[in-house]
Chain A
């Protein structure tokens, strides 16, 4: 019980941007299953706050930073947070419900998924660009962000390229472009209906995480974002359910399959006593406890953030991002942040969908699937 409470309490640090779960599990000592599961799960819930209020991408809620912050700028921060918190609950609940079937069916489906995932991705991209009003301009943004993503993921520039890349592509342009604005009036009582089908789909996608090393959840969320950019609330629901489900499946698969697809899962993968049931129960209980706290504090936190004038607020976070990336990755991190910000401004200035910038995740994955990475690296080196 004490392990659970300690893990849960440490998970509150999800409120602090860039305080990564991988860093926190170092305090696990003997990597107690309950402590790590509770920590990872409550951290995931509290990460939703900086994502929506400050447009800062986290590990769990990566691409969601953009639509989340867009909603906050429309005065819909409460709705965005409520949508994310509800979706995290149902995503985790669906994940726990899927578990028995997943343990049987997933290994059978794996070869098919590995064989065809690249082609499926290409078809989805083709459909997306057929629906784009300026396909050539949009593709330019996709290719530029793709080239940047390939560079930072394939070469020895950064140990953790995701933070500077996504912060630069999504957070910095969002913060800069909203700097002249004022906080809009808050829509407190906005009606909101949870799209359960999308939440279910998100939970299903999250269940693929342990099996597809080249197709990470950020990529799955990115593909969904291509089609759901115009419906930010729907995207947030799908992405949050995906993150919650991935968290459960990563932790459980570290106990059953020996597969560790996250820092938390890796921390308990080597534990001498394996217990997937304890891990699943601790994870779900921690999500529920964290949601109980989050539902109490989300309004006061959102209101507190609004007390700071938006200009100061945004300027502070642009500087904060630069410092955080410097601390995480040195000057290389700041440089990648700046280059990514230049690419991230393009879709706004060229009036195409910002989701085109997810090329940074999709292009490297396609290059790997179709064995283009060797050609590109041979040309580079």
Chain B
């Protein structure tokens, strides 16, 4: 690789600055995104931040990752990955104590997994227990 010239370095500094500002703006956009209440999720919702309310019909712990099935007007698979689950257990909700039958609100981003849509928790405040 050759050495960068002063004009290349100036261009690099400008691009790095623009990239950082752009990433900061992207972070702000994503932080301010409001979840959309939904009755069901499909692959057409992929990438959307959604809020799904329903009754927890199943919760399964697999190597620290939690897989939930929440049923409202339809049933949706919800996922809390290990790292978020640890944070959740520490700060807001002990998932090991959460039982099927509770009414919950689950907030997360819709992702595709094995051809189906599922809601993936983004932070420790993703699940709110609304009642028994």
Q: Which residues of A contact B19 (CB under 8 A)?
A: 144, 148, 339, 342-343, 346
The verdict on A155 contacting chain B, using a C-beta distance below 8 Å, is yes
Inter-subunit contact A266/B115 (CB<8 Å): yes
Chain-A contact segment, one of B1-9, B67-75, B95-103: B1-9
Inter-subunit contact B83/A374 (CB<8 Å): yes
Q: Contacts A350-B8, A377-B123 given: A151-B15 contact, CB under 8 Å?
A: no
A371's contact among B82, B113, B115, by CB below 8 Å, is which? B82
Inter-subunit contact B22/A342 (CB<8 Å): yes
The verdict on A154 contacting chain B, using a C-beta distance below 8 Å, is yes
Inter-subunit contact B33/A156 (CB<8 Å): yes
Which residue of the partner chain A has the closest CB to B19?
A342
The verdict on B53 contacting chain A, using a C-beta distance below 8 Å, is no
The verdict on B129 contacting chain A, using a C-beta distance below 8 Å, is no
Inter-subunit contact A159/B3 (CB<8 Å): no
The verdict on B48 contacting chain A, using a C-beta distance below 8 Å, is yes
Number of interface residues of B (CB under 8 A): 42
Inter-subunit contact B122/A345 (CB<8 Å): no
Inter-subunit contact B4/A155 (CB<8 Å): no
Interface size of A as a range: 35 or more
Which residue of the partner chain A has the closest CB to B109?
A156
**Contact flags (1/0) for B26-52 with A, using CB distance below 8 Å?**
110111010000000001001111000
Inter-subunit contact A352/B1 (CB<8 Å): yes
Inter-subunit contact B122/A351 (CB<8 Å): no
Inter-subunit contact A155/B86 (CB<8 Å): no
A265's contact among B2, B25, B46, B115, by CB below 8 Å, is which? B115
Q: Which residues of A contact B66 (CB under 8 A)?
A: none
Task: Give the complex CA separation of A155 and B19 in angstroms.
Answer: 17
Q: Which residues of B contact A158 (CB under 8 A)?
A: 47
Which residue of the partner chain B has the closest CB to A159?
B47
Task: Give the complex CA separation of A374 and B79 in angstroms.
Answer: 13
Inter-subunit contact B27/A133 (CB<8 Å): no
Q: Contacts A144-B19, A259-B114 given: A381-B123 contact, CB under 8 Å?
A: yes
Inter-subunit contact B8/A349 (CB<8 Å): yes
Inter-subunit contact A349/B31 (CB<8 Å): no
- Best-buried of B16, B112, B123, B124 by chain A (most CB within 10 Å): B16
A338's contact among B22, B33, B113, by CB below 8 Å, is which? B22
**Contact flags (1/0) for B92-132 with A, using CB distance below 8 Å?**
00000000000000000100111110000011100000000
Q: Which residues of A contact B115 (CB under 8 A)?
A: 254, 260, 265-267, 269-270
Q: Which A323-354 residues sit within 8 Å CB-CB of chain B?
A: 332, 335-336, 338-339, 342-343, 345-346, 349-353
Inter-subunit contact B4/A350 (CB<8 Å): yes
The verdict on A160 contacting chain B, using a C-beta distance below 8 Å, is yes
Task: Give the complex CA separation of A151 and B11 in angstroms.
Answer: 24
**Contact flags (1/0) for A126-160 with B, using CB distance below 8 Å?**
00000001100000100010011001101111111
Q: Which residues of A contact B31 (CB under 8 A)?
A: 380-381
- Best-buried of A158, A265, A372, A378 by chain B (most CB within 10 Å): A378
Inter-subunit contact B30/A350 (CB<8 Å): no
The verdict on A309 contacting chain B, using a C-beta distance below 8 Å, is no
A335's contact among B26, B27, B83, B84, by CB below 8 Å, is which? B26
The verdict on A261 contacting chain B, using a C-beta distance below 8 Å, is yes
Q: Contacts A147-B23, A338-B22, A351-B8 given: A332-B29 contact, CB under 8 Å?
A: yes
Q: Which residues of A contact B48 (CB under 8 A)?
A: 156, 159
Q: Which residues of B contact A156 (CB under 8 A)?
A: 30, 33, 47-49, 109, 122
Inter-subunit contact B30/A151 (CB<8 Å): yes
Inter-subunit contact A148/B15 (CB<8 Å): no
Inter-subunit contact B124/A342 (CB<8 Å): no
Min CB–CB distance B127 → chain A (angstroms): 14
- Best-buried of A133, A267, A353, A377 by chain B (most CB within 10 Å): A377
Q: Which residues of B contact A373 (CB under 8 A)?
A: 81, 83
A375's contact among B16, B83, B109, B114, by CB below 8 Å, is which? B83
Q: List 20 A-B contacts (CB under 8 A).
A: A148-B26, A151-B26, A155-B30, A155-B122, A156-B109, A157-B33, A158-B47, A159-B47, A159-B48, A161-B47, A213-B114, A339-B22, A342-B19, A342-B22, A343-B15, A345-B12, A346-B15, A349-B8, A374-B123, A381-B123
Extra pairs beyond A140-B16, A345-B15, A349-B4 (7, CB < 8 Å): A144-B19, A148-B26, A260-B115, A266-B112, A269-B114, A351-B8, A371-B83
